[in-house]
Amino acid sequence: MTLSLQARKLACERDDRWLFEDLDLDIQAGEIVRIEGPNGSGKTTLLKILSGQLADYQGELFWNGLPMRESRQAFLESLLYLGHAPGVKAALTPQENLAWYQALAGDSGSEAARLTSLASVGLAGFEDVPAGQLSAGQQRRVALARLELTPRPLWVLDEPFTAIDRDGVEALEERLIEHARAGGCVLVTTHHPLRQTDELRRVSLGGGGQRHAEH
């Protein structure tokens, strides 16, 4: 699988302060790239820039060797982004939420696939319960069901472990590793201490635009 997301001389300023600057990144298939740094260092901002949601930055992005402005549609077709908030509509059931996600992506999907994806995250039996009646962890699992339902090679995940229990954490961590080993790529922020594997690489952001990457 060809998968390469690159950033060159990336910089972003907020409130007269550089969150990061002169940042180069090379993200390849088979990697889990964890963005680390203290609160306010720009982790979520970086994820939103890399996923095409923010345009207020300096530098350039490349997808599979082409400038993002030339490859944006192909990039979006390869991307699955899950934000810090679960993005679940309280009045809809888990199954209806997934159908809504699919419709936004232009995919009608199938009820069987939605039920399977919900079962994979431990929500069997809760498919038709209004999401507003679910716990915070269960609502997070509804969002995480999209990882099974929507096959995209590039996952960009902002704090995906929030509010889920130990079993859910272990299952999600294993799912991220499986995705990377199958040739996908995961870009993630998390306070959870991810298991050290050959696929894991860390990119650290710090005050004053400091940053470094390590395996």
pLDDT at 213: 52
- Secondary structure of the chain as H, E, C letters: CCCEEEEEEEEEEECCEEEEEEEEEEEECCCEEEEECCCCCCHHHHHHHHCCCCCCCEEEEEECCEEHHHHHHHHHHHEEEECCCCCCCCCCCHHHHHHHHHHHCCCCCCHHHHHHHHHHCCCCCCCCCCHHHCCHHHHHHHHHCHHHHCCCCEEEEECCCCCCCHHHHHHHHHHHHHHHHCCCEEEEECCCCCCCCCCEEEEEECCCECEEEEC
Separation between Cα atoms, residue 203 and residue 118, nearest integer Å = 32
Average pLDDT of adjacent 10-residue blocks, the chain of 215 residues: 91 92 96 94 96 95 97 96 94 97 88 96 97 97 95 96 94 96 97 93 74 51
Backbone angles phi, psi at 190, to 5 degrees: -165, 150
Backbone angles phi, psi at 214, to 5 degrees: -155, 155
Q: What is the largest CA-CA distance in the chain?
A: 51
* pTM for the structure as a whole: 0.93
Answer whether 176's CB lies under 8 Å from 188's CB: yes
pLDDT at 105: 82
pLDDT at 209: 45
pLDDT at 107: 86
pLDDT at 49: 97
CATH superfamily to which 4-88+151-214 belongs: P-loop containing nucleotide triphosphate hydrolases (3.40.50.300)
